[in-house]
């Protein structure tokens, strides 16, 4: 009897989740609807069991969410963010409470995939910080898995032309506009099926689609990339651009910077948002002055590296001097 009661409860949840049709009951003892679901042999004769119809879903948290990235950009705000490469939830939580406008979880150069990204997104959500997922490739399977986690934005690397941009956008849209697989009743993006407005908001209204331009050929194709419907931002890739020009080992050569300035003007003339990374050549404030809408100015491992090196340089030298002093004093006593 206990097993049957547990099965009934499971049927309720399963039927509600997948919208199994309900048939009315004519029983005089109850006016509630009934559901008929197939179960294994041995629980009920004819292999069927009756389940009560599910109760209405619990109300969602009515706390006002933070403004969407797209809303803030549309209002003219310039946003300053950071990259999470370590995939450490603790470090990501610090970035969130430090009040960066957004954090990019980097699955292209970081060691983690979607499973490692999930707890990072969860702690960022607890701080009210929008998360952007950077994919390792312009691939619809990676896009599908990333989108199901519910990021505020998704960044596609190495977008070379309009065809690549169209493929990226289609990967973010459900049919008939795209090819994204549908599992919204069970994924985090839709609060595991509890957010019934998800389908109305998840594409044009909420999701920020970012295409990275990282080669000479891609710079030439900026106008056609930006013209693709659904592309919200073009993210400049200064380091890969320098590499594509064969100048990665020549940091003083200004040719990549000159091309980057040309690319920036092209993006600003298209109407899509201009986004980029701060470098040794271009500080965050310099990029803001150049008209960037979003600037990523810090990387979590870089912040830790710089702080660690500075700490060692400051305190280890003092320790060495003190040790040398002690050694000399000992020597003078022996003499």
Catalytic amino acids?
A: 109
> Do 171 and 145 meet the contact criterion of CB atoms below 8 Å apart?
no
b/e per residue 2-25 (b: at least 16 CB within 10 A): eeeeebbeebbeebbeeeeebeeb
Q: Are strands 34-38 and 48-52 parallel, antiparallel or unpaired?
A: antiparallel
Q: How far apart are alpha carbons 197 and 190 in whole angstroms? A: 8
Task: Indicate left, alpha or beta for 271 from its phi (over 0: left) and psi (-120 to 50: alpha).
Answer: left
From residue 8, alpha-carbon distances to 22, 25, 46, 52, 213 in Å are: 15, 16, 16, 7, 54
23 DSSP 8-state letter: B
Tokens at 26, concatenated: 């004519």
Q: Pick the closest to residue 105 from 81, 128, 70, 77 (CA basis).
A: 81
> For residues 94 and 100, what is the distance between their CA atoms, to the nearest angstrom?
10
Q: What are phi and psi of 76, to 5 degrees?
A: 95, 5
CB 171 within 8 A of CB 178: yes
Q: What are phi and psi of 18, to 5 degrees?
A: -110, 15
Q: Which of 319, 280, 297 is nearest to 82 (CA)?
A: 297
């Amino acid at each position: 009897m206990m097993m049957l009661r547990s099965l009934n409860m499971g049927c309720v949840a399963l039927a509600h989740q997948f919208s199994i049709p309900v048939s009315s009951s004519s029983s005089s003892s109850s006016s509630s609807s009934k559901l008929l679901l197939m179960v294994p042999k041995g629980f009920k004769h004819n292999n069927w069991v009756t389940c009560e119809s599910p109760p209405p879903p619990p109300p969602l948290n009515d706390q006002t969410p933070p403004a969407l990235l797209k809303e803030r950009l549309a209002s003219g705000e310039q946003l300053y963010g950071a990259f999470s490469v370590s995939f450490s939830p603790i470090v990501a939580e610090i970035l969130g409470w430090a009040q960066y406008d957004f954090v990019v979880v980097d699955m292209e150069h970081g060691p983690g995939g979607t499973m490692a990204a999930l707890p990072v997104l969860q702690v960022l959500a607890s701080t009210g910080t929008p998360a952007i997922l950077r994919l390792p490739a312009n691939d619809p399977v990676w896009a599908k898995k990333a989108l199901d986690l519910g990021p505020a934005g998704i960044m596609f690397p190495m977008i070379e032309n309009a065809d690549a941009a169209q493929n990226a956008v289609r990967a973010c849209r459900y049919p008939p506009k795209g090819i994204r697989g549908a599992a919204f009743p069970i994924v985090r993006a839709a609060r595991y099926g509890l957010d019934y407005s998800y389908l109305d908001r998840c594409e044009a209204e909420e999701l920020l689609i970012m295409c990275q331009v990282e080669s000479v050929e891609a710079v030439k194709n900026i106008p056609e990339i930006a013209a693709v419907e659904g592309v919200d931002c073009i993210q400049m890739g200064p380091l890969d651009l320098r590499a594509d020009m064969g100048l990665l080992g020549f940091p003083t050569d200004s040719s990549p910077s000159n091309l980057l300035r040309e690319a920036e003007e092209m993006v600003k003339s298209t109407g899509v948002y201009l986004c980029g990374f701060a470098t040794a050549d271009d500080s965050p404030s310099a990029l803001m002055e150049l008209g960037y809408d979003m600037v990523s100015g810090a990387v979590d491992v870089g912040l830790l590296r710089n702080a660690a090196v500075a700490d060692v340089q400051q305190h280890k030298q003092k320790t060495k001097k003190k040790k040398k002093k002690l050694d000399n004093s000992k020597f003078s006593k022996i003499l």
